[in-house]
Amino acid sequence: MDLLIKSLVGFFVGSLIGMTGVGGGVLLLPILIFGLHVPAMRAVGSDALFNFVTKIGASAVHLRRGTVRRKVVLALAVGSAPGSFLGVSYLHHLRTLYGNGVNHFITVAVGVLLVCIPTFLFFQKKLEDRAAVKPPTMKSFAWMAVIGLVAGFLVGITSVGSGSIVMMMLLLFYNFQPKVMVGTDIVHALLLTGVTSFLHFRINNNIDFHLVGALLIGSIPGGLFGSYLSTRVPVPWLRRILCAVLLATGARMLMA
């Protein structure tokens, strides 16, 4: 029964990812914490590994199709890898000082991000329309490393936003074709969640592999089902509903 429930959670989240793309997987962490009652710190590490595995297939497809700007991925990773290390190390430090009190810190941090991310998603279209279509420069690459550093730190302590936060901040610099923006963002998110999950395992031993396996059992068919539905349901309205749910969930976590 426990395996079935976790697999159904994976199916639900996978379906959301398949239907909505960016932002669909953000709900998994609060579901793990409030729905399955997984300790927040273990939920973060497990969520990071789940995100890593689910992005492998999509990353391979985008790399094969040439819809990835490798230099942008590299610039982001230059900042996000050390940022993730700082974030995971900071959690380890807080757990050393406060024990299980670190779980409350994580809950508040995730709540703040769940309020910020849907706010970004509401304005994504306006950002895309305003983004300047211009070639990257050394200055923009330097700023991308800074974006990576901030995103890496946030993902290190929450596992949330490896794709959505970076996507929104990238739009501040320039805009590629949508498929290139998505491909570049996904491949970087693969690297970031891979580094983060490895650090959570090595530094904090913070991953429940049985939980991740059960979630993946459901998320793979869920992703296929969601992709099928995406051509048959009004996705813009679904994204608005998702944003509203994320905002409500973030507010709930902040009041916990």
How far, in Å, CA of 130 to CA of 190, rounded?
A: 27
Task: Give the tokens for residue 25.
Answer: 């997987």
User: Please, are residues 157 and 87 in contact by the beta-carbon 8 Å criterion?
Assistant: yes
User: Please, are residues 12 and 219 in contact by the beta-carbon 8 Å criterion?
Assistant: no
pLDDT interval class at 198 (50, 70, 90):
very high
Which DSSP letter does residue 230 get?
T
How far, in Å, CA of 98 to CA of 158, rounded?
A: 17
pLDDT of the residue at 128: 57
How far apart, in Å, are the Cα atoms of 137 and each of 75, 88, 143, 148? Answer: 11, 31, 10, 16
Task: Give the tokens for residue 12.
Answer: 């639900």
pLDDT of the residue at 118: 75
Identity (one letter) of the amino acid at 9? V
Of residues 19 and 42, more confidence is placed in 42
pLDDT interval class at 125 (50, 70, 90):
low
Residue 65, pLDDT above cutoff 80: yes
Query: Cβ-count burial of 99 within 10 angstroms (0-12 exposed, 13-18 middle, 19+ buried)?
Result: exposed
pLDDT tens, residue by residue, 162-194: 777 777 777 766 666 767 777 888 889 899 999
Q: Percent of the chain having pLDDT more than 70?
A: 84
Q: Please state, as a whole number, how many other Cβ atoms lie within 10 Å of the Cβ of residue 135.
A: 6
pLDDT of the residue at 209: 94
pLDDT tens, residue by residue, 87-97: 999 999 998 88
* DSSP code per residue over 1-22: -HHHHHHHHHHHHHHHHHHH-T
How far, in Å, CA of 193 to CA of 164, rounded?
A: 13
From 161, 208, 204, select the one nearest 36 (Cα to Cα).
Answer: 208
Residue 124, pLDDT above cutoff 70: no
Mean pLDDT of 108-118: 83
Angle subtended at Cα 51 by Cα 193 and Cα 136, rounded to the nearest 5 degrees: 55
Phi/psi of residue 162, each to 5°? -60, -25
Of residues 116 and 106, more confidence is placed in 106
pLDDT of the residue at 120: 73
Residue 4, pLDDT above cutoff 80: yes
- Could you tell me the residue ranges of all domains in the chain? 2-254
How far, in Å, CA of 234 to CA of 170, rounded?
A: 26
* DSSP code per residue over 120-186: HHHTHHHHHHHS------HHHHHHHHHHHHHHHHHHHHH---TTHHHHHHHTTT----HHHHHHHHH
Task: Give the tokens for residue 110.
Answer: 């995730």
pLDDT of the residue at 101: 85
Mean pLDDT of 35-41: 90
